[in-house]
Amino acid sequence: MGDEPGARGDLTATAERVHRSVEAVIEGKPEVVRLALTVLLAEGHLLIEDVPGVGKTMLAKALARSIDCSVRRIQFTPDLLPSDITGVSIFDQQRRDFEFKPGAIFSQIVIGDEINRASPKTQSALLESMEERQVTMDGQTYELPSPFMVVATQNPVEMEGTYPLPEAQRDRFMARVSIGYPSPAAELQMLDVHGGASPLDDLQPVAHAHDILKLIDAVRSVHVAETVRRYTVDLVAATRTHPELRLGASPRGTLHLLRAAKASAALQGREYALPDDVQALAAPVLAHRLLPTAQAQLNRRTADQIVREIVQRVPVPDPSAPAWRVPGQQPPGVRGL
């Protein structure tokens, strides 16, 4: 995470400021806020999937407003066109040539509200942008700004008038998170805080885009030993042979899990990733990519449950193995989930 301990401390402090800012809006869900920040620093995209009214869009907006960067919100509807997202080429009468007008995707943080209400054709407009961070239009390629993150929400209960995300689209998201209902204490506090006005109104940026880019660079430099990489591959491979899964995680899922583990290590002030990091993120990163068999669905077995069982079953690397240590540092013991 850099050569100077002071610089590492500054980066960690920046991440903590963003975390506290978002948590001031989303009460009682520190693990959800931490995952959203982890995905941002790992250069991924986040899918927030939960029932109505638990704060899906609020979480996305709070993260966006906590960082001083460009933000666009797209309300996905059945009549939304792909050009509304990517942009369109318009003929300029004076120049006698076509001019590209960028769409809503040309922003550093893009909030896609109720993404499953748009048609598959419109959803597919996000595929190139999310994977390659660019838009190709009429043979021309346009780079998207950096940092770039798509935060999409969808309601898994109300299916009338919706189009389920295809597997290729779901696989583009690094992690899926469900906020869940708040505890009674957190809900009571929400009534006090949100009863008069939305806390989003007073939310001010606590970090700049260049601060986030520094954090992303720090995450890239996090050390991952061969044993941890092999452990990550073993976890993902186990999803492909599990009898209750008819579709396992893709190689992109392996890469996303490793990147998320590096971001988690950086947020904890470490220069190296541990199996702990991989274990903690396995369910959020892998579960939405899996398809349980019909029998597993009849038995009401969820992909999250299956992933957690795989984590318990796959052998964890020996923490005393010299190959995984960073010179001059000792890794702590390995914890289970």
Average pLDDT over residues 82-103: 86
Residue with the bigger pLDDT between 329 and 221: it is: 221
With beta carbons less than 8 A apart as the criterion, state whether 18 and 206 touch. Answer: yes
Average pLDDT over residues 65-73: 89
* pLDDT 10s digits, 102-151: 999 999 999 999 999 999 889 989 999 999 999 998 888 999 999 999 99
Residue with the bigger pLDDT between 52 and 224: it is: 224
pLDDT interval class at 81 (50, 70, 90):
very high
Q: What share of the chain in percent tops pLDDT 90?
A: 56
Beta strands in the chain (DSSP E): 46-49, 67-68, 71-75, 87-92, 97-102, 109-113, 134-137, 140-143, 149-154, 175-177, 207-208, 245-247, 291-292
**What span, in angstroms and rounded, lies between the C-alpha atoms of 299 and 293?**
10
48 DSSP β-pair partners: 153, 177
SS3 159: coil
- Quick one: tokens of 245? 């899964």
Q: What is the 3-state secondary structure (H, E, C) of 78-89?
A: CCCCHHHHHEEE
Spell out a b/e string for 208-219, using b for 16 or more CB atoms within 10 Å of the CB, else e. Answer: ebebbebbbebb
> Strand 46-49's sheet: what is its strand order?
71-75, 109-113, 149-154, 46-49, 175-177
Average pLDDT over residues 3-12: 60
Predicted TM-score (pTM) of this structure: 0.88
* pLDDT 10s digits, 174-187: 999 988 887 888 77
**What span, in angstroms and rounded, lies between the C-alpha atoms of 106 and 326?**
39
Measured in residues, the chain has a length of 337
Name the helix (H) or strand (E) containing 212.
helix 209-220
Query: Please, what's the largest Cα pairwise distance for the chain?
Result: 71
Which has the closest alpha carbon to 1: 273, 254, 309, 190?
Answer: 273
Name the helix (H) or strand (E) containing 251.
helix 251-267
Q: Which of 4-13, 38-47, 87-96, 199-208 has the lowest mean pLDDT?
A: 4-13
pLDDT interval class at 195 (50, 70, 90):
low
In the chain the first and final C-alpha atoms are separated, in Å, by 26
Dihedral over Cα of 173, 175, 181, 183: its sign: negative
Most confident range (mean pLDDT) of 183-197, 200-214, 316-330 is 200-214
